[in-house]
Amino acid sequence: KDLREAHDEAVKLSGGGEIAKRAGKIAEAFPDIERIYEEIREKYEYEGGKYCIVVPERIEDIIHEGRVLGHCLDRSDIYFERIQKRESYIVFLRKVEEPDKPYYTLEIEPGGAARQKRTYGDNQNKDFEEAKTFIRNWQQEVQKRLTKDDERMAEISRKLRVEEFRELRAEKKKIWHGKLAGRLLADVLEEDLMEVERIAAG
């Protein structure tokens, strides 16, 4: 209870009224998001060394993350639509010593593939290189927790992602702002992708 009250107070201090209004609209359009997150929490949360993966509790957490880090997360419904369809999920990469401080936002597929990893200003900085080993370890741990349904959803998600990249490349869509301005969006997304490395048995 005390933790929830502290969380609510922090949200208020960071523009809570506006965040709550936006969250309400998202919840109306995509009513299953918070229930889905409750179902997947145990599957995807993980801690190892100096990093941890945190699964959001509420829509407000996702919006707050986007605003603190200044990326596009809360300005588009596409990510919430994907969560509703279980195509991908938004989770948070945090440092264990600062578990409540936004660090990197990850978009992950049900099978553990990381589509995007973005920090302040929609960037991916050199500090993420150190976190890559943790992400790989997390992906291997997730593999142990997947059900047949998760594997089925992961394959659907992979096919949708491949098709999206194909369409973006065909349309030659570019990034218009920031450090990556002028680059093809498909190139950037493909470079950002961390698929799950399969470990051969035996």
Q: What are 95-117's pLDDT values in tens digits?
A: 999 999 999 999 999 999 999 99
Mean pLDDT of 171-183: 84
**What predicted TM-score, i.e. pTM, was given to this entire model?**
0.87
pLDDT higher than threshold 80 for residue 198 = no
Query: H-type helices in the chain, by residue range?
Result: 2-13, 16-29, 33-44, 59-69, 78-85, 128-145, 148-171, 185-192
Please name which of 26, 2, 24, 6 lies closest in space to residue 14, comparing C-alpha atoms.
Answer: 6
List Cα–Cα distances, 190 to 30, 36, 198, in angstroms. Answer: 27, 27, 19
- What gap in Å lies between CA 7 and CA 186, rounded to an integer? 37
Percentage of the chain with pLDDT > 90? 68
- What gap in Å lies between CA 158 and CA 141, rounded to an integer? 19
